[in-house]
Structure 1
Amino acid sequence: MKAEPVMPPAVSSVVLVVDDAPDTLRMLCDALAIEGYTVLVARDAIEALERFEMAVPDAVLLDAIMPGENGFALCRRLKSEPSWAHVPVIFMTGLAETEQIVEGFASGGVDYVVKPLKIPEVLARLATHLRNAHVSRLAREAVDVAGLGVVLLDSQGRIAWRSPQAMHWLEEALGPQDDVTPLKGWLQAAITQGETLTPLPNGSQLQAQYLGQTGPGETMILLRQGGPAVNAAHKRLSGAVLTPRETEVLSWLAKGKTNRDIADILGMSPRTVNKHLEHIFEKLGVETRTAAAAIASSLLQDA
């Protein structure tokens, strides 16, 4: 009996399948094509890297054990490249031992499926991780739209992703990123102290604010540009310790969006938006959305 399609993508997503077994490649390519995905194929780590050089896929289905460089090593290489690190990697493996599963997650994988593959399960997991990656990307882009920048660090303190605005500011403040030591030290200071500042060439300052953990082994730091001194509103917001989601809600509130607009933009219900706003008001010590928006807007004007 043919399985029902599992949430086919509204816009064709590109999936890279990396496996040295022809039968597995053929089975996955057929199933993914039926679901509306654009499929790229690689038979080993070398070919996989060549595909990434040509076009960055939206997700990777990766065989853990292959001739030459295995899937775990390849995943670590992908995650070490900032422009590729956001791509979700799902391992395909006949290894069901805890040690191998842990290694897959430690190397940067988001999930795994056990061979022999169950196609409906693969499609369901793939659709979920593509949807999560899409929402995450929209949220990160929204930060840049709001005049802010964001940096994500992995469990070893390395930059896993940075928004275009963050990249521009960091190069202005700390120079070319060939030597990452000053950058890592500055970002680590933000994590330790909650926030840190460094001068920019235009006489203003670049502030890094630690926002906490956004996922397993992933740390988010928010960047903003301000005047020579951090104003009272800035201090008030910095001391509020908002969650990443509360920060997103507040940024859209400051731009004049209604609760329903924010719900649509962030993919949540208006009731959830209301609950986030209640927490924001409490943390900022205000009673109205107008007061909260004023605090956020004053910071955006400084940026």
Structure 2
Amino acid sequence: MSIALPAQPSILLGIALNRDRPNFSERDRRLLDLIRPHLAQAYRNAELRGRLAEMLFLLEGLLQDSDRAIVLVDKFRRVTQATHEVERLFSEYFAATVNLGSGLPMAVDAWIKQRGTSRRLEAALPSERPLIADGPRGYLTIRFLPHGELGVHDALLLRETRDQATVDREPRLSPREHEVLVLVAEGKTNPEISAVLSISRRTVQKHLEHIFDKLGVRTRAAAAVALTRASGIPR
């Protein structure tokens, strides 16, 4: 007994079942008919994964040594494919790791949910406002492409814009500012930093303002990432 699976016109694809007992019964045939759609879907999924991997490989070559990256996500906003630079960009701008099958950084996921479901977004205009994230060396622009524009998956297009003035300027923190930044990177709040360093909360805030200005960032997370990437900011 055999069943045919959907394939390209030039390909004949099927599954044959053989056994040394009497012929297959009508019940056996009905059971096979029941699992046929699942086998067909499994084949389509495998074929799609192969096409996506090939597409990402080609895109990786086009985007190599550039400031752009692409993430493909499923309907649950889980990562299905990603170009190489995505790992660095998500780490630098969101202090998050990305793995196949994992979710997006919380800020990105919340932004997509605020925009609505993929079904509603299919009619979205390309000019809709992107997500902008500040980082230690510039900012990251993320645009959302609903499925249908780039295969059957939703896609995120990432583009990093470097602040050349910030890149060229070596951030020099005072010893106290460095201490504050280390505590920020450890996740401590202003009151906690105030207690550890025996300084007022207002002084902590002033130090943070100076740190943000010197590093060219706007958030505590971005400042912490700058400390990690610098592996010891000059003091």
Q: Does the pair score TM above 0.5?
A: no
TM-score normalised over the length of structure 1: 0.32
Higher RCO (C-alpha under 8 Å, 6+ residues apart): 2
